[in-house]
């Protein structure tokens, strides 16, 4: 079973480390970000089951990180953690899309209970929305809402970007997609990074999805782009 992954966005190293140790003891996988910029970058690259987000982060405030994240991701549960306990801060956080709010100092058991509750609620909502959101190509299955990928009934762990790329290929199976189309769809029109990023991520997917002795699920069309082949009755 894949562990639930939690991002701890906290600039006080001692507190961040304590939170990480407690959460890991409870069976979670953790990652720490010490600034708002680091937290936002981590949330764009990684696929987290929950985020503990301190409001008073350097470089970019927790409220601003929350606002930016919610423009792209409405579902990842986010719990704001702060030393401030004013009604304004609570309302501001909830209005910007936070799922919960806890003020320092807090009891660790209460925080862990809130984490469990937020993840349970998120999973229940995802399951409720999930009907009709399954994509299948061969022995590969992707759930658009829970973001779970199964290959031959075994779960495959993908990053957010890998998942988005895979789903786009599955959505347009049997069609040849150019690198430009994939770049625009998955990375966005404003992407200004390395142009070979599509090939790099196709390589990541092949490494995680392809079985020894079998041809790759994702086919390269020389000089054009890539395609994923499936049958007409798959959805």
Round to whole Å and give the CA distance between 230 and 234: 7
Judge if 153 and 207 occupy the same domain.
yes
The answer to whether residue 41 sits within a structural domain is: yes
By mean pLDDT, which of 32-41, 46-55, 201-210, 212-221 is the weakest? 212-221
Judge if 112 and 153 occupy the same domain.
no
The answer to whether residue 235 sits within a structural domain is: no
Query: Is 192 a residue whose pLDDT tops 70?
Result: no
Find the CATH number of the domain harbouring 96: 3.40.50.2300
Judge if 169 and 111 occupy the same domain.
no
Position 43 scores a pLDDT of 92
Judge if 185 and 222 occupy the same domain.
yes
Task: Point out the domain boundary residue: 70, 99, 129.
Answer: 129
C-beta separation of 40 from 63 below 8 A: no
Position 211 scores a pLDDT of 80
Number of domains into which the chain is organized: 2
Task: Point out the domain boundary residue: 104, 129, 154.
Answer: 129
For residue 193, give its domain range. 134-228
Query: Is 122 a residue whose pLDDT tops 50?
Result: yes
Judge if 48 and 142 occupy the same domain.
no
Q: What is the pTM of this model?
A: 0.57
The whole-number average pLDDT for the span 85-112 is 86
pLDDT band per the 50, 70, 90 thresholds, residue 129: low
β-strands 140-143, 134-137: how paired? antiparallel
Judge if 176 and 64 occupy the same domain.
no
Judge if 140 and 124 occupy the same domain.
no
Annotate the chain with DSSP letters as a single string. -PPPEEEEE-S-HHHHHHHHHHHHHTT-EEEEE-SHHHHHHHHHHS--SEEEEESS-SSS-HHHHHHHHHTT-SSS-EEEEES---HHHHHHHHHTT-SEEEESS--HHHHHHHHHHHHHHHHHHHHHH-TT-EEEETTEEEETTT--EEETTEEE---HHHHHHHHHHHHTTTS-EEHHHHIIIII-TT--S-TTHHHHHHHHHHHHHPPTTS--SEEEETTTEEEE---TT--
Judge if 16 and 123 occupy the same domain.
yes
User: Which residue has better confidence, 132 or 46?
Assistant: 46
Judge if 151 and 118 occupy the same domain.
no
Position 234 scores a pLDDT of 55
Percent of all residues in the chain with a pLDDT value above 90, rounded to a whole number: 56
Round to whole Å and give the CA distance between 25 and 88: 34
């Amino acid at each position: 079973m894949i562990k639930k992954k939690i991002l701890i966005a906290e600039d006080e190293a001692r507190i961040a480390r304590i939170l990480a140790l407690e959460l890991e003891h409870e069976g979670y996988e953790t990652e720490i970000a010490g600034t708002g910029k680091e937290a936002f970058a981590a949330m764009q690259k990684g696929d987290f089951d929950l985020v503990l987000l301190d409001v008073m982060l350097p470089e970019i405030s927790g409220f601003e990180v929350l606002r930016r994240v919610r423009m792209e991701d409405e579902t990842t549960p986010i719990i704001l953690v702060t030393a401030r306990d004013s009604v304004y801060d609570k309302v501001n956080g909830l209005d910007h899309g936070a799922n919960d709010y806890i003020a320092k100092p807090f009891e660790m058991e209460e925080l862990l209970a809130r984490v469990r509750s937020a993840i349970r609620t998120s999973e229940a909502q995802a399951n409720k929305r999930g009907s009709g959101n399954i994509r299948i190509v061969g022995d590969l299955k992707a759930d658009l809402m829970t973001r779970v990928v199964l290959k031959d009934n075994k779960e495959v762990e993908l990053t957010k970007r890998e998942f988005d790329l895979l789903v786009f290929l599955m959505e347009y199976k049997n069609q040849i997609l150019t690198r430009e189309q994939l770049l625009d769809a998955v990375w966005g029109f404003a992407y200004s990074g390395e142009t070979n990023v599509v090939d790099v991520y196709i390589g990541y997917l092949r490494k995680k999805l392809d079985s020894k002795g079998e041809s790759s699920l994702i086919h390269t069309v020389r000089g054009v782009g890539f395609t994923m082949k499936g049958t007409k009755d798959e959805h």
